[in-house]
Structure 1
Amino acid sequence: MAAQTQRRNLVRQWAQAVMDRDGKARAIRFDTLEKICKALDCQPGDILAYEKEG
């Protein structure tokens, strides 16, 4: 249970760090993305998606 809470907190902190006030991603460092993927045992495509603006 503690590991799940730790993962949830990591994702929450990451989201707050990379999102601007409009809810759009600003930037993310590859080493940060790597840490997130290791903690969640996933691939970047599992947590990121590309959406066209406009």
Structure 2
Amino acid sequence: MLTPPGADGTVPGLLVEWRQSASGWQGRVAYAVPGPHGPVLVEAWLPAGSLEQR
């Protein structure tokens, strides 16, 4: 589960990889968001604090 920027609450996602940056650990995740013609797949680097295992 993750909390993407601009989202209300958490959404399911897939953790693809980790990296360490100057600001701390980040996870590259893939998740779907609603789009005008159906779900859209998003891939983004998010701070580790916004990720949660379930």
Larger radius of gyration between Structure 1 and Structure 2: 1
Higher strand share: 2
Give the TM-score of the pair, scaled to structure 2: 0.26
When normalised by structure 1's length, the TM-score is 0.26
Q: Which has the higher contact order (CA 8 A, sep 6+)?
A: 2
